Structure 1
Amino acid sequence: MKGLLKRSLKILAAGLLLLCALSFAEVLAFRFFNPPFTTFMAWRWVASRIQSGPDEEPYRIVRIQWRTLRQVSPNLVKAVLAAEDQRFLSHHGFDFIEIQEALREMLSSRRIRGASTISMQVARTVFLWPSRTWLRKIYEAYYTLLLELTWPKKRILEVYLNTVDWGEGVVGAESASRKYFRRSSAELTPSEAAMLAAILPNPHYWSPVKPTEHLRERQRKIMNDMEKMPVSRVLR
């Protein structure tokens, strides 16, 4: 019995080591090579093939129009940091100040808001499946640590801007800029960049083309915060 238990533990340990090695290799590879698609896109493609009816158009994996940080307007870089993760350049994947504020708000008003950093969003979008289970959250934390250990901040931000969901069939900054404003992401004005960043919490509900008053308020706040963002470090 003890021998069987020992062998089982060895197999389990070997399996965990193999998973760690594979995930580390996967993350390290994408530091140097651009992902052609994300796991979110792959999961959605599979789900659409299973769930769509005979008369429904299945989801198609969108081709990412990849742009380096230098090819994206600094206005959009500032706007995204102002809207999504103002302490991105100073934290190590987890913004504990934001987490505390989110918990305090949840306890006082029972209103739940996210506290995900840009690093956490990249881990979730590029490497994991769409789910809200505790298992996925554990994997998300693990991949976030791997990203922060192996990628520079500049790379994390570049991958985020190219893989973030900006609406139905719209993935990445270049695609969003051309769809909503008919121009390259390199040419976005501060106002346009702030509006794109403003819809990120719910890009399938909000539209930059027909903004609500709430969305315009978000845009104004983001524009006020944009100049506080120290982006020179990642744009060098």
Structure 2
Amino acid sequence: MGMTAKTERQRRSGVRRWLRWLWKLPLLLVALSVLQVLALRFVDPPFSAFMAARQVQAWMAGDGSFRIAYDWRDLDEIAPSLPLSMIAAEDQNFARHRGFDLEAIEKARASNARGGRLRGASTISQQVAKNVFLWSGDSRASRWARKGVEAWYTVLIEALWPKTRILEVYANVAEFGDGIYGAQAAARSYWRRDAARLTPAQSATLAAVLPNPKEYSAARPGPYVQRRARWIERNVRRIGGVGYLDNL
């Protein structure tokens, strides 16, 4: 009888210890995420979550020869026309918002409700959060969980990084083709030149494929990519050209 009571007390004590650790787990995850984002303000990421997932996908498919193309370049080593084109294409309120463009979200919601061409409203900050820190997933539950974590990382990125760092990381981790990540890898793969020597037209073409780099090609741009690239070049002029970057 005494032995049974002692065993029960030990079990309850173990449960209490587990519960004490359990409520601390969210605090630990928050602290780790803050440290993670803070570190990457100063340290260039050697790879992103999306790069790792794509490489693993190739290995699981038996493609042992597949290699990610990724070569980091600081922002001053990338032609200004590329970050400008990315802003003009995807996030024209980049300098003003704090991670979420509520105006763009409302426009996207209204357009999608009318049954028009599906459009998103992700900011560059959200794209960085998704590409660098998060996972891919197809299930509804996975998508909702990912969106929640993406929002948290977006808040951290905007709080802990300057706008120029957000833009620098995005220009280096954005996917411009299957397995081709960042300005330098794209410039070398498509035009055999360094990212610093990209022309405005080439930069606009790269930005034009960002919505779906596996479907659209910067090397062989079809009519849609060509039209979108011309629109992006006009938008770059409309937002003020290089002067826009000086104001970040």
TM-score normalised according to structure 1 size: 0.89
Q: Distance in 1 between matches of 2:114 and 2:68?
A: 41
- C-alpha contact 1:44 1:59 (8 A) present in aligned 2: no
Pair 61,214 (structure 1): closer, same or farther in 2 beyond 3 Å = closer
Deviation of the 1:10 alpha carbon: 3.9
Instruction: Give the drift of 1:109.
Output: 0.9
User: Of 75, 80, 90, which residue of structure 1 is paired with 2:86?
Assistant: 80
CA distance in structure 2 between the aligned counterparts of 1:84 and 1:8, rounded to whole angstroms = 46
1:116 equivalent in alignment to 2:126: no
1:125 aligned partner: 131
CA distance in 2, matches of 1:66, 1:43: 19
Work out whether 1:39 is the aligned partner of 2:39.
no
Structure 1 equivalent of residue 202 of structure 2: 192
Give 1:205 shift: 1.6
CA RMSD of the aligned region, Å?
2.1
The DSSP-based 3-state class of the residue aligned with 2:137 is coil
When structure 1 is superposed on structure 2, of 89-98 and 10-19 the one drifting more is 10-19
Q: Deviations over 1:132-180 (max 9, x none)?
A: 5100000000000010010000100000001111102311001111211
Matched to 2:229, the amino acid is Q
How many pairs does the alignment contain? Answer: 229
Contact 1:195 1:219 in 2 (8 A): yes
SS at match of 2:158: helix
User: What one-letter code is carried by the residue in structure 1 that aligns with 2:50?
Assistant: F
Task: Determine if contact 2:68/2:181 at 8 Å carries over to the other structure.
Answer: no
Which letter maps to 1:24? V
Q: What are structure 1's unaligned runs of at least 5 residues?
A: none
Counterpart amino acid of residue 122 in structure 1: V
Q: CA deviation at 1:38?
A: 0.6
Whether contact under 8 Å (1:198, 1:219) holds in the other structure is yes
Residue 167 (structure 2) aligns with: 157
- Identity across matched positions, percent: 45
Matches within 5 A, 1:64-79: 64-79=70-85
Instruction: Tell me what 2:8 maps to.
Output: none
CA–CA distance in structure 1, aligned partners of residues 42 and 19 of structure 2:
35
Alpha carbons of 1:146 and 1:42: their partners in 2 closer, same or farther (altered >3 Å)? same
Note the alpha carbon deviations across 1:167-215, whole angstroms, 9 max, x for none.
0231100111121122111112211111111111111121123221111
Counterpart contact for 1:31–1:150, Cα < 8 Å: yes
- Partner deviation per Cα, 1:20-61 (whole Å, 9 max, x = no partner): 0011111100000001001111122233333x14xx436434
After superposition, what is the alpha-carbon deviation per residue over 1:99-143, rounded to whole angstroms, capped at 9, x for unaligned?
Answer: 101100111116422111100010011011112510000000000
Q: Which residue of 2 aligns with 1:233?
A: 247
Structure 2 gaps of 5+ residues are 1-12
